[in-house]
Structure formats: C-alpha cells, structure tokens
A and B are shown apart, each in its own frame.
Chain A
C-alpha cells in the first residue's frame, strides 16, 4: 500500500465536508448534511483503525505512530458521534449543514496535527483545526454575545498562534530544519533553546486554555451555543494535547526546565480551574473552568517527563473528552443555566442518570473512565516524584465534586419545569454512545496505555 493510501481517513473527511455542504441539494431536509457527515466521519474512524501504524511518509512530514493512530481514531469517532447528535437536534436557529462541514474540517486538521512531524505541517494543521472552531463558536450570527465570544476567541487564538510561530522560528534557527527529528537532534541551545521552547508552549498552553492563559475560555464558551462548545472544547483539545506531548518529547532533552514549567502551569490550572468553577451558574462557564482544571491534570502527567507520563496525558484527555462532550450536548438540549437542569430527573430520568455517570467520571469516581485516567496519571506523576502536585490534584478532584454535584442536585432534588424537549433518536443514540464509552472505556485502560507508551 503506498503512502497515499495511509491518509484515506483524511480524504474521507475532506470529501465529507464538501458533500455535507451540498447534501441538502439532493435531499431537501435539515439534518441530512450532518447525517452524511457522521457517516463519512465513522468511515474515517474505521479506516484509520484499519490502516494502523505506518512509518514516516511524504519526506518525513507525516507519520502514523501509536499515538497518532489512537488519537485520529478517537477524533474521528468523537466527531461522528457529535454529527449524529447534530443530525438529530441541529443548530437552531441556524441551519446545520455548514456546522457539519466545519466539524469535519476541524477534525481533519486535528488528525493532521497528530500525524505531523514537521513544524510547517503542524502549524498549517493547527490553523485548519482552529479556523472552523472560530466559525462554530460564532455560529449564531444574530446574537451579540455569541459574536463577542467568538471574536475574543478568534483574536486570542490568533495571538497565541503568532506567539507559537515566533517560537517555531527560533526552533528552525537552532536546528536549521523544520523537521521534528532534526530539532530533537539539534544540540541543546541553552538560553535560546529555552526561549523558543517557552514561546512554543505558551502558545499551546493558551490554546489548551491552561492557567495562566485561560481567561478567554469562559467568555468565549459562555457566548457560544452549547452545541458548538461541545465540539470545540473536546476535539481540538485532544489533538492539542497530543501535539503538546509530541513537542515535549522533542524539546525536553534540550530544555531540562520544561517539566518544571508544566508543573507550575499544572498547579495553577488545577487550583484556578477548580476553585473558579464553584460560583458559576452557567453550565458553559462551569465546563470552561472545569476544562482549565482538566488541562491542569493533563499537564501534571506531562510534567512527569516520562514515557508513562506522556501516554497518561493522552489517555487522560481521551477520558475527559467523551463525558465532557456529552454533558455539553445535554446542556444544549436542556438549557445552559445550572438551574435549567432542575427537575431533569422527573421529566427525563434517563438523561438525569446519564449526567450522573458523566459527571462522576469527570470527578474521577470508579468505575467510570475518568477514574482510570486519573489513576494512570497519578501513577506516572508519582513515579516522577511529583508527590506534592499529586496531593493537590487529589484534593482538587474532591473539590471538583462540589460543583459537578450542583448540577446533579438541581437535576434530582430541585423541582423544575415539567415539559420536556421532544425525543430525537439520533441525539439520544449519540449521548448514549458517549455515556457507554465513559462507562466501558476503563476496561481497556491497561492495553491502551501500554500501546500508547510504545510510541515514546
């Protein structure tokens, strides 16, 4: 099989994005585009799984190692599930076909991000993954808050892209090449190397909404439609986590201080994210701060600077993405205020119990996947001697139960409106799939983490 055929999932996503734009010309019904997109994305996930690990291709700019394969399968699957939901519920009051195309293009960018082995290809893929995300965040074009949030997201994301690009330019200057292999082998450039690495990671940390560069996330999320947030806060984040791990692997040998930088950012994110999530009354803001906190946990794994830590960082982000997306999808159905969840147990018992599973997974309660994610993460961090940080992380996990349970308290113990949103089968299936993954993925923790560790 030639190298061209290894990227069939990417072609499928591109073809799917174009097909989604025109699908409603063939079948004139809202939601057809998203359904077609879901089909293309699931085909992409299956083909990515079938193609598996492959050596470097196209002059070494793309490579499919264990991390790339895992993350691209998960990315395509998540976007397929998301599009399934979108096919059922749509993006009211706007039409959903462009959203479907944006989702597929962003996923394509994310998949190229994790396969990239070259700074130029990486940067273009990051832009491809984030450009549709800006559009999704500003999807409700007649809403002032949406536009304000989207503009904030756009400007800050662009600025962080530039900061990162500035770092890339120094890396290129040190190594004389944009390929990761050449950068990894370049002699440690001392202060200049540290300078460039800090710029690269400040850009990435800001994109991942890690403290102290998180301030854009709550505003941007609170303005956007919750259905957009469900996608933007999970899929690009997973790809971003994989890129951070990849760059950490090549840059840490030359810049030994980097793990300490990650540890500090991790501490700040865990404290700030978890504590600031408390007073929030909007689920989007709450999940934005919870996202900051979870990025903090991910950084804790990264600060271990070991193969196990790198694998744990990726596994943890996967374990975070599924429940987080599902909770935002439920918020898109029920309403974005925590109070909108009031009475959920009475009017939609299944949805209420689903949210119990999802939120407990985010807290890290067994047997949900979040607990296994935290387990591998804490183990890796303890092996690297980060006892104090792990203690903070455990304490903060307990604290996080406080604000997640506020949603559950509203759902179960507070009376609310009785009328329920109409049943929509594809949307229900999508949330059920994510919940099933949250429940069952933990079983595969051992093999998956071993498989991921083999890449480093």
Chain B
C-alpha cells in the first residue's frame, strides 16, 4: 500500500519537475528566437486586435440580481433533485411526496416572482 502510494507520487513529482522546467524553457526560447515588433495595436488589451470600447469599470444593470436569485433557486433545486433521482427506485412514496412539497414551494416562489413582474425586462 505504502509503496503504491509513493509510486503514484513519484509520477506526480516528475510531472511537477518537468512542468517547472518545460514551461519557462519554451517561454524563454520563444522570447529569444521570435522577432519582436511592438505597435500600439499589439500592446493594447486584446492581442487578437479587437479595440476595447470604454473603461472596464462600467456599472451593470441592477436588474440582473433577480436573474441571479432565480438562478440560485433552480441551482439548489437541481442539487437536491440529483441525489433524489439517483436513489429514486429505492425510496418509499413518502419521499416522493416530500420532493413534491419541495418543488411546490419553489414553484410558488417562482409564481410570485412572475406575478410581481420580476421576469419582465425593464
């Protein structure tokens, strides 16, 4: 057991060493070998040549938070639904009822958000 663990770690160690040598080596080689001609476009934010429009610190629409909240709601729902679905064939009817209650609570929340116009883009 101990030997197999050390053998696995030897591979990891070799990988780290090779990585530590290889990456600086290739970067240095390309720096030395490649021709280097800078112009304004190349020194800009995006190397692909796209010109940036405006400063990066713009204000986002606060309206997005509703979507973020609704996303979290459904995210949590998925987290709960997955283990439930995996073990579905081994569970009693009570657990099905519990999940229906859980989904009904979420659906109620969504219905209220909908009714309040949270889903309308303004």
Interface residues of chain A, those whose CB is within 8 Å of chain B, are 14, 18, 21-22, 25
User: Which residue on A lies nearest to B104, using beta carbons?
Assistant: A18
User: Which residue on B lies nearest to A14, using beta carbons?
Assistant: B105
User: Which residue on A lies nearest to B111, using beta carbons?
Assistant: A22
User: Which residue on B lies nearest to A18, using beta carbons?
Assistant: B108
User: Which residue on B lies nearest to A11, using beta carbons?
Assistant: B101
CB atoms of B115 and A25 under 8 A apart: yes
Give the number of chain B interface residues (Cβ < 8 Å).
5
- Chain A residues with CB under 8 Å of B112's CB are 21-22
Cα separation A25 to B108 with both chains bound (whole Å): 14
List 9 A-B pairs, Cβ < 8 Å: A14-B105, A18-B105, A18-B108, A21-B108, A21-B112, A22-B111, A22-B112, A22-B115, A25-B115
User: Which residue on B lies nearest to A19, using beta carbons?
Assistant: B108
Cα separation A14 to B106 with both chains bound (whole Å): 12
- Chain A residues with CB under 8 Å of B105's CB are 14, 18
Cα separation A18 to B105 with both chains bound (whole Å): 8
Cα separation A18 to B111 with both chains bound (whole Å): 11
Give the contacts of B6-45 with A (CB-CB under 8 A).
none
**Further 4 A-B residue pairs, CB within 8 A, beyond A14-B105, A25-B115:** A18-B105, A21-B108, A21-B112, A22-B112
Cα separation A14 to B112 with both chains bound (whole Å): 15
- Chain B residues with CB under 8 Å of A18's CB are 105, 108
- Chain A residues with CB under 8 Å of B115's CB are 22, 25
How far, in Å, is B79 (CB) from chain A's closest CB? 15
- Chain B residues with CB under 8 Å of A21's CB are 108, 112
Cα separation A14 to B105 with both chains bound (whole Å): 9
Give the contacts of B99-122 with A (CB-CB under 8 A).
105, 108, 111-112, 115
How far, in Å, is B118 (CB) from chain A's closest CB? 13
Give the contacts of B35-87 with A (CB-CB under 8 A).
none
- Chain B residues with CB under 8 Å of A14's CB are 105
User: Which residue on A lies nearest to B108, using beta carbons?
Assistant: A18
How far, in Å, is B103 (CB) from chain A's closest CB? 13
Cα separation A284 to B86 with both chains bound (whole Å): 52
Cα separation A21 to B115 with both chains bound (whole Å): 10
How far, in Å, is A389 (CB) from chain B's closest CB? 46
Cα separation A22 to B108 with both chains bound (whole Å): 9
Cα separation A21 to B105 with both chains bound (whole Å): 12
- Chain A residues with CB under 8 Å of B111's CB are 22
Cα separation A248 to B105 with both chains bound (whole Å): 34
Cα separation A194 to B49 with both chains bound (whole Å): 62
- Chain A residues with CB under 8 Å of B108's CB are 18, 21
**Nearest 3 Cβ contacts at the A-B interface:** A21-B112, A18-B108, A22-B112
How far, in Å, is B106 (CB) from chain A's closest CB? 11
Cα separation A21 to B108 with both chains bound (whole Å): 9
How far, in Å, is B23 (CB) from chain A's closest CB? 39
Cα separation A25 to B116 with both chains bound (whole Å): 11
User: Which residue on B lies nearest to A4, using beta carbons?
Assistant: B94
How far, in Å, is B94 (CB) from chain A's closest CB? 9
